């Protein structure tokens, strides 16, 4: 009986040290007092348990960022419903913890922190939002890896959300991506398979240049939702959200992530934008054709072609039509560029070349 009591006391003290719930001096002193009061035949038990004290003290800082509820099971969740859970991270060490960030294996997770720097005893809330629309039905586990810095060393803390998804409503595609320039349009199909399907009340977006067109009900429970990205969208990459609001309390808000990569509009583009040559000694000069195209499909008239090396020569069509340029390549050419000037439309493009002693390339920059 005493063996079990002593073993339980030592294990409890070790656990307390790891969680930072008791001070090092008090815990070590308490265990030492009980060890010295033990009988001669029981000293081995106390001695073995006392070896855990330095290990616990040594690992207290290494595991200073602790989450009491690191793994959460939310049970049954319907796809399309909003799933969000919050994890409380506590600094149980005696040094300041700097949270570097969080990474997830799935792009459907969006982790955010309330605080990034924690003094001893302070807490930070990790909020993890899951886009269930992009997930198939069935059991799911979404792990999140938290990386933090303690002094000069980096450590990790893992948390996870577990759920079982069931599918009643589908949105195809579950996420959108706009990658181009000018006016763009995509179509969403919202389908509710239930006997009493939902109705779409309104649609909103997080950006003024991303709007929804007229919603059409193809059949009961199936809707066609056009989304339009206007030309007012500034160039660059951004993440936006389209929210579909319905009359169903269980699916009051359906959130569709939208990735926008708006490229700056160029008057003239070269195809291909980079030309590679592979030459060998004794072979004649090589040549390739580069076609020019205007973004507004207007005819192109090449005014001049300016290579930056004498080993490159070019021929081109002078007609006002889709332009073609054939650069000739000589073996000595390395890391050279060609500048094309167009008089209709007014534009200037640059091609570049690079290679080794026996190879080169040329392409639009």
pLDDT category at 146 given cuts 50, 70, 90 is: very high
Instruction: Assign 349 a pLDDT band (cuts: 50, 70, 90).
Output: very low
DSSP labels for 135-193?
A: S-SEEEEEEEEEEEEETTEEEEEEEEEEEEEE-SEEEESSSEEEEESS-EEEEEEEEE-
Q: Beta-carbon neighbour count of residue 153 at 10 Å?
A: 9
pLDDT per residue over 21-30, tens digit each? 443 334 444 4
Range in 11-25, 65-79, 207-221, 349-363 with the lowest mean pLDDT: 349-363
**Quick one: average pLDDT of 317-325?**
58
CA angle 301, 306, 309 (to 5 degrees): 155
CA atoms within 13 A on the CB side of 54: 3
**Percent of the chain whose pLDDT exceeds 70:** 64
| pLDDT score for 248 | 93
Which tens digits make up the pLDDT trace of 212-260? 999 999 999 999 999 999 888 888 889 899 999 999 988 999 989 899 9
Which residues, including other chains, have CB under 8 Å from residue 174's CB and lie 6 or more apart?
Answer: 131, 133, 134, 256
Q: Give the model confidence (pLDDT) of 95-131 as tens digits.
A: 999 999 999 878 789 899 999 999 999 999 999 999 8
**Cα 297 from chain centroid (whole Å):** 36
CA-to-CA distance for 240 and 203, rounded, in angstroms? 14
- Residue 206: pLDDT band with limits 50, 70, 90: very high
Position 337 scores a pLDDT of 57
Return the residue matching tokens 């006002």. Answer: 320
All structural domains of the chain: 2-59 (no CATH), 65-166 (2.60.40.10), 169-262 (2.60.40.10), 268-364 (2.60.40)
Nearest-angstrom CA–CA distance, 80 and 90: 32
* Rounded average pLDDT over 277-288: 66
């Amino acid at each position: 009986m005493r063996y079990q009591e002593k073993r339980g006391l030592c294990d409890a003290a070790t656990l307390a040290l790891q969680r930072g719930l008791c001070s090092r001096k008090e815990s070590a002193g308490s265990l030492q007092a009980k060890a010295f009061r033990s009988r001669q035949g029981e000293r081995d038990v106390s001695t073995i348990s006392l070896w855990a004290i330095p290990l616990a003290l040594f690992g207290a800082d290494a595991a200073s960022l602790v989450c009491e509820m690191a793994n959460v099971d939310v049970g049954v969740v319907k796809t399309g419903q909003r799933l969000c859970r919050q994890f409380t991270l506590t600094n149980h060490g005696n040094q300041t913890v700097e949270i570097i960030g969080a990474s997830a294996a799935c792009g459907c997770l969006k982790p955010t922190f309330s605080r990034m720097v924690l003094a001893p005893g302070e807490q930070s809330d990790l909020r993890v939002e899951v886009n269930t629309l992009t997930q198939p039905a069935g059991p799911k586990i979404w792990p999140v890896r938290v990386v933090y810095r303690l002094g000069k060393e980096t450590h990790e803390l893992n948390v996870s959300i577990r759920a079982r998804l069931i599918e009643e409503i589908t949105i195809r595609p579950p996420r959108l991506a706009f990658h181009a320039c000018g006016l763009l349009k995509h179509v969403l199909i919202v389908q509710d398979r239930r006997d009493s399907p939902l109705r779409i009340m309104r649609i909103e977006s997080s950006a003024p240049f991303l709007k929804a067109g007229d919603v059409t009900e193809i059949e009961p429970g199936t809707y066609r939702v056009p989304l339009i990205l206007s030309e007012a969208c500034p160039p660059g990459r951004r993440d936006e959200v389209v929210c579909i609001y319905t009359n169903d309390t269980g699916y009051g808000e359906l959130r569709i992530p939208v990735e926008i990569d708006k490229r700056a509009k160029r008057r003239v583009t070269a195809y291909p934008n980079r030309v590679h040559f592979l030459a060998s000694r004794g072979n004649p000069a090589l040549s390739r054709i580069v076609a020019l195209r205007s973004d507004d499909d207007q005819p192109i008239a090449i005014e001049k072609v300016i290579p930056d090396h004498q080993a490159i020569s070019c021929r081109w069509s002078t007609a006002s039509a889709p332009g073609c340029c054939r650069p000739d390549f000589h073996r000595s050419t390395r890391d050279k560029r060609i500048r094309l000037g167009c008089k209709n439309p007014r534009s200037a493009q640059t091609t570049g070349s690079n290679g080794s002693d026996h190879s080169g390339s040329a392409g639009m920059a």
